[in-house]
Amino acid sequence: MQGVIGVQPHAPKSKKLEDFISRWKNKTHQEKTTSDLNVFGLWAYDAATALAMAVEKVGLLNLSISSIAKNSTTDFESVGVSQNGIHLCQALSSTRFRGLSGNFSFVDGQLQSSAFEIVNVIGNGPRGIGFWTPEHGIVRQLKFDHDKYELQGLLNISGQP
């Protein structure tokens, strides 16, 4: 191995992702724009999906907004506070699904880290050599199946097969 070892976010290939990328390319071609889609865009799409799912769980029973204290001298006087905020946070914390970027879930209020690809950057660009997941550490391959990553052989750090 030569070059630099690095990591990059990994979005597992799926039919859902392929269809989304195809629609994205068609839309940008029709609008004659050149907007690249990257993993950050996929994460944003998944976050919006999770928020919509949480709103559906909470429902629209109480749309009242409380005013912030009137003594403030900032422009935030007009900002209100939703009475459903705590319920929305609870619903969002329990939202789990397979998104475009992989598994989407929260652990202790934090977005669960997805898999990262370990790459060797040399010559013509990065070459994948393995993956890292929070659950299993370093692995050689990931196979996505029914909301779980199946591990396909641990990565031997020494480089020997």
What is the residue-level pLDDT of the chain in tens, covering all 161 positions?
A: 568 999 988 888 889 999 999 998 888 888 877 777 888 899 899 999 999 998 888 886 555 666 655 555 566 666 777 777 888 888 988 899 989 988 888 888 788 877 899 999 888 888 889 999 877 889 988 865 544 443 344 443 433 33
CA–CA distance, 127 with 133 (Å, rounded to integer): 18
> What are the start-end ranges of the H helices in the chain?
15-30, 39-58, 85-93
CA–CA distance, 95 with 140 (Å, rounded to integer): 29
Record the tokens describing residue 126, joined without a space. Answer: 């990065």
Distance between the two ends of the chain, CA-based, in angstroms? 14
Closest to 138 measured CA to CA, from 111, 112, 110, 119: 119
pTM: 0.70
Residue 50, amino acid: A
- What three-state secondary structure class fits 147? coil
- What three-state secondary structure class fits 89? helix
